[in-house]
Amino acid sequence: MPTKEAYNAYMNEYMKRRYIERMEDTKLYKKSIYIKKKYNIDDDTWRKYGQYLNNVIKITEMLRELPEDMADELIVNHKDIRFEVK
């Protein structure tokens, strides 16, 4: 039976490899866990948005800062907005 130190070393190595292989998914998951700890979020919302919960919370907070009529218009016409990063 492996010792606890050997097991911990193995798991650390495994997690490093997994992080490198799935870096973007791991970052999204970590952000979602942070958001779930920071906010009270119901289980249905968590299941619906999963690892993208961080982005959903950011978008929702930004929409709340806009005047209500502008936020509604933005949601309806968001596909028509075109811009490029300089």
| Average pLDDT value for residue range 41-56 | 86
In a domain, 20, yes or no: yes
Count up the domains in the chain and report the number: 1
Supply the pLDDT for residue 1. 54
In a domain, 85, yes or no: no
Q: Which of 78, 85, 31, 86 is nearest to 58 (CA)?
A: 31
| Average pLDDT value for residue range 33-45 | 86
Please answer whether residues 50 and 30 qualify as being in contact, where contact means their C-beta atoms are separated by less than 8 angstroms. Answer: no
Length of the chain: 86
| Average pLDDT value for residue range 49-60 | 86
The domain containing residue 52 runs over which residues?
A: 4-80
Between CA 48 and CA 32 the distance in angstroms is: 12
| Average pLDDT value for residue range 31-40 | 85
| Average pLDDT value for residue range 68-72 | 88
In a domain, 86, yes or no: no
DSSP state, residue 22: T
Please answer whether residues 50 and 31 qualify as being in contact, where contact means their C-beta atoms are separated by less than 8 angstroms. Answer: no
0.85 cut: is pTM over it?
A: no
